[in-house]
Amino acid sequence: NAGVTQTPKFRILKIGQSMTLQCTQDMNHNYMYWYRQDPGMGLKLIYYSVGAGITDKGEVPNGYNVSRSTTEDFPLRLELAAPSQTSVYFCASSGQATEAFFGQGTRLTVV
Amino acid sequence: AQSVTQLDSQVPVFEEAPVELRCNYSSSVSVYLFWYVQYPNQGLQLLLKYLSGSTLVKGINGFEAEFNKSQTSFHLRKPSVHISDTAEYFCAVTLAHAGNMLTFGGGTRLMVKP
């Protein structure tokens, strides 16, 4: 039972590079989320999706893009990496009005 | 829209002492409530949840929480903490009986000292 799977676990990017953080879930959840977590700052919502083909901005969407072509996958795209995007990124999914299940996180460093 | 406030960003406590981590929410309709724990360098895992029924909810690792509708609170408690309980704790809310996303509080870092 895989749950929510994020790849990669770690990545170092140079300023201006781009990358995609992958997230997939096998629980047939409609809701999926991307959060970033910075030391002492809690979780901040970047983007979320309420179903395939539907995405919306969260609290801190600048510098990121998402897509949701299938129920299972919710990739997060960084187009022009900046040092301010150094963070730990968590993907999560939930059913209707139920708890969220989290991936193990991606630790991203932009240098 | 709903919101969640965790009143303490850090809570230091000695081993075997009791602890309470506070969580207040705001919503004009019924909600479901959750507490998550995050151990260092790990993802978040569910501690306990309140959906309906008894307002006292028991979770894993000896934690419990009480839903208080009149005070819009969902405080987390443990009668005797261990060093291994050192972690970050997050309270979250979603609207009951409706499709809606989860909203998280800012987190409380529990630091258990020997």
Q: Mean pLDDT throughout B47-52?
A: 92
Q: B7 and chain A: CB distance < 8 Å anywhere?
A: no
Only one residue has tokens 């901040």, namely: A44
- Selection from A66, A77, A93, A103 nearest residue A21 by Cα: A77
- Supply the pLDDT for residue B97: 67
Residue A55 pLDDT > 80: yes
Q: What percent of chain B has pLDDT over 90?
A: 72
Mean pLDDT of B75-93: 96
CB < 8 Å to A96, chain B: 98-100
> Is residue A90 pLDDT above 70, yes or no?
yes
Q: Tell me which architecture the domain covering B3-113 has in CATH.
A: Sandwich (2.60)
pLDDT in tens, A7-36: 999 999 999 999 999 999 999 999 999 999
B43 touches chain A (CB under 8 A): yes
Contacts of B45 in chain A (CB under 8 A): 102
Distance from CA of A111 to the nearest CA of B (A): 21
Residue B99 pLDDT level (bands cut at 50, 70, 90): low
Count Cβ atoms within 10 A of the Cβ of residue A80 and give its class: 0-12 exposed, 13-18 middle, 19 or more buried.
exposed
A94 touches chain B (CB under 8 A): yes
Q: How confident is the model at residue B98 (pLDDT cuts 50, 70, 90)?
A: low
What tokens were used for B12?
């230091």
Does B43 contact A104 at a Cβ distance shorter than 8 Å?
Answer: yes
Please give the pLDDT value at position A1: 66
Q: How big, in percent rounded to 5, are the helix, strand and coil portions of chain B?
A: 5, 55, 40
CATH of domain A29-96: 2.60.40.10
B49 with A99: Cβ contact below 8 A:
yes
The shortest C-alpha distance from B110 to chain A (Å) reads 12
Quickly state the pLDDT bin for B58 (edges 50, 70, 90). very high
User: Which of the four pLDDT bands, split at 50, 70 and 90, describes residue A97?
Assistant: low
Q: Using the 8-state DSSP alphabet, how is residue A86 labeled?
A: -
Report the pLDDT value the prediction gives residue A54, as an integer from 0 to 100. 94
3-class DSSP state for residue B61?
Answer: helix
Do residues A67 and A75 make contact, with C-beta atoms less than 8 angstroms apart? yes
Mean pLDDT taken over chain B: 91
- For residue B1, give both structure tokens: 């829209």
The pLDDT assigned to B64 comes to 97
Mean local confidence (pLDDT), B70-91: 96
The more confidently predicted of residues B103 and B56 is B56
**How close, in Å, is residue B97 to chain A by CA atoms?**
7
pLDDT over 70 at B32, yes or no: yes
What are the sequence ranges of the domains in chain B? 3-113
With 70 as the cut, is the pLDDT of residue B85 above it? Answer: yes
Q: Output the CA torsion sign for B67, B70, B75, B78.
A: negative
Are A97 and B42 within 8 A, CB to CB?
no
* Gap between the Cα atoms of B50 and B102, Å rounded: 14
Q: Domain boundaries in chain A?
A: 29-96
